[in-house]
Structure 1
Amino acid sequence: MIDFRYHLVSIVAIFLALTVGIVLGSTVLETAFYKSAEETTAQLRQWNSENRDKITALQAREDGNASFVTAHTADLVRGQLPGERFVLIEAPGAPAGRRDDIVKVLGDSGAVYTGRVSLTEKFLAADQTNVVDQLASTVAPAGTRFADGASPYEKAAAVLAGAVVTGDRGQAGREDPAAVSVLEAFQTGGFLAMGGSPAQRATVAIVVSPDQAYEGEDAEAQTAAMVSLAAGLDSAGLGTVMVGTTAASGTGGVISALHDAGEAASNVSTVDTVDMPAGRVTVVYALREQLAGRSGAYGVGSDITAFAPPAAPGISPSPKPMASGG
């Protein structure tokens, strides 16, 4: 049997070995270790300094580009959308502070702002889906026909789109009683807020997406609802552009979902640089392109076709064909 003295001797031997190792390490390996550490630290400091200089230079270039575009925005967009009426549709979670910059650049292009519709969090709440379905069916103008198997949000998209946009320029700018009833019903239900006079229907729409992807178990359904709304606006009017930041065109973002939405992706244009002066100019060009019957995905994120459509001051927009039904 192993007695206590054996354990004691073993423990003493272990500590003695550790002590000898420490002494040897601090004397034999000390010089080589510290030299290597100093060289690595010096290299890291150099790389850090170089990267910091590159970041500073890139930021200066970006600030300069932004200042230049801001100073010349009016010249870049002048005459692109003369007399065209536009409405803003803000998705739940979209930053309200973005609307003024969009309205200004569209105004510089000659377009006329009718108003905005800001959807609330309640509009996308899972426990409100049936309410949205019933409300859309109840307030739909006489003669409205929903597609077979239409989801609650596809119905809501058709009804709301018909209330704020039109494909008939002769009806644009005129307050439609049916449109007023639809918007007031959704507002009374707490599903949206309004500014301006969106019932004085526009011909084109800008959908402002949230900067970040929706989260939680209902995120996919919420994202799909906003894609349906953009598709509905495009069908009811002469053109729709969904705008946001690169986060919106990343994984799970609303713009990314639109890019994967088949027919909607080929009809609705997107711009994921609306937080940049050049991106807001791109919104104008994208709307002008929509009026000419074309679409594209613009910006710097994934699934993008180009930073912006080509500028074409002499373009003569022609209405896109109206979708049947709804």
Structure 2
Amino acid sequence: MIDFRYHLVSLIAVFLALAVGIVLGAGPLRDTIGDTLTGQVQDLRADRERLRGDLEASEADVTERTTYLEQSAGVLLEGALTDQSVTVVTVPGTAADDVEAVRDRLAQAGAEVLGEVAVTEAWTDPANLTFRQTFAGQLLGYIDPAPGGDAGVETIFGLALAHALTDTGEDGAPTEDAATLLDLLSSAEAPLVSLTTAPTGQADAIVLVGPPAAAPPAPDADPEETDAAAAVLGSQVRLAEALSGVAPAVTVGAAASDLDLVAAVRADDAAAAAVTTVDSVGEITAALSTPLATAVALSGGHGHFGFLGGADVAVPPRVELAPPVVEPADETPTDAEAGNQGETAGTEAAPVQDAA
């Protein structure tokens, strides 16, 4: 009986509240409620239109600035790398579009892009640690000067790659050790590099292009995966440092967080002191700055360029590189040529004696 009365009272209360709402909504509060809702809808529409206008204006600004940079690229880059040769190196995760943009601007600056070499995942694969350590020992015999005894595996790999891409003999061809190093790195049981475009010669400079900005780790990310990612990033920093230790080199990449290559290089004191960097890979500003930064490196300079943390200035300075020195041809006559010249001189002198 009590339960029945309880449910009955509840039903009466619900219907009573509904009736009161209907009466008020259709009566004295109808206009007030309607006006309030209408006003809110109008405000939302106005906000939407304002935001749409702001977005369109921002997109127009970006388009205009990009157009300006693209059209001024010829003036900015013309002749910056004339008679210079460059090989591009990539790491796992590097975007093909970013590499193409960098290569195009290097060529626009007058550089000859000799080839593109991709570092593979085997470079840092923890499952192949024993193989990598043994292989690093084999490479040491072809690296001159040899690295210090405390050099890690990734540093040895980086030095080997740098020498393979840049060491030349007196005739300008790769040294025997350089050719051997490139062959070993690209044809091992688990190749450490793949030749995206086989280099056609030895480079004056190297440009390392890194991945775009890394996504932040999930709150529940596996600690082992996080540690593995940190180890890979550390190996890429050592690669950038090793390349710059052997030849003029520039590292182009992201610096949005400490998970990005350029940010990690700039945060490492030893690497930051040796490696020239350009941040904001994927943006036109990075592609345009790369040839100018490469010229800085070729001139013996160093810097960190871009708009993100650790950058020295936004734009690399324009550096006029001295033309390459061309060794004069050996004009010393051979014995046979000397004899011929003597005979010619004697023949030419005879008429003078006759005239006397």
Q: Same fold (TM over 0.5)?
A: yes
Corresponding residue of 1:48: 48
The share of aligned pairs that are identical, in percent, is 19
Residue 146 of structure 1 aligns with an amino acid whose one-letter code is: P
Q: Which position in structure 1 is the counterpart of 2:126?
A: 126
1:271 corresponding residue in structure 2:
278
Q: Matches of 1:11 and 1:223 in 2, distance apart?
A: 66
Name 1:249's counterpart in structure 2: 256
Map of 1:222 onto structure 2: 232
Letter of the 1:150 partner, please give it: A
Alignment of 1:235 onto 2:245:
yes
Letter in 2 for 1:194: L
Tell me, yes or no, if the aligned pair for 1:244 and 1:274 is still in contact at 8 Å: yes
User: Partner of 2:342 in structure 1?
Assistant: none
Distance change in 2, residues 1:25/1:310 (3 Å): farther
Aligned residues: 311
Matched residue of 2:83: which SS? coil
Matches within 5 A, 1:25-44: 26=25, 31-44=31-44
Provide TM-score, normalisation by structure 1.
0.81
Residue pair 2:253, 2:260 contacting (<8 A) in 1 also? no
Q: Cα distance, 1:283 vs. partner?
A: 0.8
Q: What corresponds to 1:292 in structure 2? A: 299
What is the one-letter code of the residue matched to 1:288? A
**CA 1:143–1:306: 2 relative to 1, 3 Å:** closer
**Which has the greater radius of gyration?**
2
Change beyond 3 A, Cα 1:296–1:24: farther
1:18 deviates by 4.2
Alpha-carbon distance in structure 2 between the residues aligned to 1:132 and 1:172: 33
Query: Matches of residues 1-326 of structure 1 in structure 2 within 5 Å?
Result: 3-16=2-15, 18-19=17-18, 22-23=21-22, 26=25, 31-140=31-140, 141=142, 145-166=146-167, 173-188=172-187, 189-198=190-199, 200-213=201-214, 216-217=225-226, 218-237=228-247, 239-245=248-254, 248-312=255-319, 314=320
Query: What secondary structure is seen at the aligned counterpart in 2 of 1:249?
Result: coil
Q: Give the distance between the partners of 1:29 and 1:120, measured in 2 at CA.
A: 72
Distance across 1 between alignment mates of 2:194 and 2:72: 33
CA separation of 1:144 and 1:8: change in aligned 2, threshold 3 A: same
Alignment CA distance shift 1:146-1:130 (3 Å): farther
Q: Deviations over 1:25-44 (max 9, x none)?
A: 64565544443343333333
3-state DSSP class of the match of 1:205? strand
Measure how far apart 1:266 and its partner are: 2.7
Unaligned 5+ segments in structure 1 are 319-326
**TM-score, normalised via structure 2 length:** 0.75
Q: For each residue in 1:7-32, what CA deviation from the matched residue of structure 2 results, as whole angstroms up to 9, or x when unmatched?
A: 33443355346435644664565544
CA positional deviation for 1:240:
1.8
Aligned-partner SS, 2:194 = strand
Question: Which residue identity does 2:286 align to in structure 1?
Answer: G
Larger mean Cα displacement after TM superposition, 98-107 or 15-24: 15-24
RMSD across aligned C-alpha pairs, in angstroms?
A: 3.1
Aligned structure 1 segments of 4 or more residues deviating by more than 6 angstroms = none
Contact kept in structure 2, 1:172 and 1:202, CA below 8 Å: no
Q: Which runs of no fewer than 5 residues in structure 2 stay unpaired?
A: 218-224, 325-356
